[in-house]
A and B are shown apart, each in its own frame.
Chain A
Amino acid sequence: MSLTSEERMVVAAAVVIYIVLNMIMWTAIVLINRKKRKKNQIAQRVSAELPPEAKPGERVLMLQPDENGELQKAFGARKSVPTADEEFLQKGPGDNFRIVRSIIIVHSDERIK
């Protein structure tokens, strides 16, 4: 049996709608799974890495060897090093250097050699 042109249009529209709905559904599934995976990774790090006696948000030490150089990447990059200011460069540092004020407050006489 052959379809009329109107029936063919309806079928075509239904197919398009079906494809679009499928695309939306699969995209949503992928995004939800990705979010779940990330949450699980974070949750695993939580249970694995905080010292067991630490309360959440408490200042604790979590000092571990930095095997991947992540400390350097996160904190060690040196940004925007300035040149000395122009007047200083032109006139130089001057003379008669003297320390005007010097206060050191420590609570141990022990030195580390």
Chain B
Amino acid sequence: MNYIVVADTDVGISKSVNQDSLCIKTAETSLCKAAMLMVCDGMGGLAKGEVASAEVVRSFSEWFDSCFEQELTSWNWDRIASITVDRLKELNSRIIAYGEHNGIKLGTTATGMLCVNSQYMIFHVGDTRVYKISGDVVQLTDDHTFVNREIKLGRMTPEEALRDPRRNALIQCIGVTGDVSPEISFGNLESGAHYLICSDGLRHDVTNEEILDILSPQQVTTRSSIEARLREMIELVKIRNEKDNISGAVLRAEF
């Protein structure tokens, strides 16, 4: 079993501050392998998005460094999911309190993957996305937008959502309102597939076909080639005039 993880980010062509934060980690014991990837997109319309996204990423990084080994001794995905949700809610409260104390509003999306051997858990708040890239490109997360909520509650059809002017209106992120409901999902890694976590700046101006072409798991198999292709994708969206910060992290699992 082997994990390859890469990450890259760019401030983009228009902004003066990169408000995205990322984290990639791998760990191993004599019998198992683990990995964690996170991408947090600080909210550009609010103040100090880079502070919010950095705090979330650091918090999970510190948890991985100090608590993960102990969790492995009695690994339980339900417990890990609860710990993750609790941590995101605690961060939400802490960032809200910081904002109130300083008279500002700050917030961030938070999306991550935690892998142990061939299993993974995705945790997710906002509109940063996780894609699985193998024979095709499959989105593994739901955007936390107004229309997706309405669809899941049975109050809107997908066809109505496509025409609705609120289709890209984000309704939850970390650090702004007291109510946050992280999405948790589980799955099994596919050997040889790529898993891409990316901020919306990376995915706005590329099609799924282009993602598959650039990050083809059949052709792009080493760490250096994945790094090069991720950078290529970033440069492509900059040429296409993407104005936002641009970030991505990729996991390749082989077993």
Interface: B239 (CB within 8 A): no
> Hey, which bits of chain A sit against chain B, CB under 8 A?
42, 46, 49-50, 54, 56-66, 70-76, 78-85, 87-88, 91-108, 110-113
For chain B, residues 1 to 60, give those with C-beta under 8 angstroms from any C-beta of chain A: 5, 7, 9, 17-32, 43, 45-46, 48, 50-55, 57-58
Residues A75 and B23 in contact, CB atoms below 8 Å apart: no
Q: Which residue of A lies closest to B125 (CB)?
A: A75
Q: Which residues of B contact A107 (CB under 8 A)?
A: 17-21, 50, 54
Interface of B is mostly: mixed
> Hey, which bits of chain B sit against chain A, CB under 8 A?
5, 7, 9, 17-32, 43, 45-46, 48, 50-55, 57-58, 61, 64-65, 69, 72-73, 75-78, 81, 94-95, 98, 107, 116-119, 127, 142, 144, 146, 148-149, 152-153, 156, 160, 164-173, 176-186, 200
Q: Which residues of B contact A42 (CB under 8 A)?
A: 156, 160, 164
Question: Of B23, B167, B186, which is within 8 A of A104 by CB?
Answer: B23
Nearest chain B CB to A48 CB, angstrom units: 11
Residues B183 and A76 in contact, CB atoms below 8 Å apart: yes
Nearest chain A CB to B128 CB, angstrom units: 12
Residues B75 and A57 in contact, CB atoms below 8 Å apart: no
> In whole angstroms, how far apart are the Cα atoms of A56 and B165 in the complex?
4
Residues A49 and B166 in contact, CB atoms below 8 Å apart: yes
> In whole angstroms, how far apart are the Cα atoms of A20 and B138 in the complex?
50
Residues B73 and A112 in contact, CB atoms below 8 Å apart: no
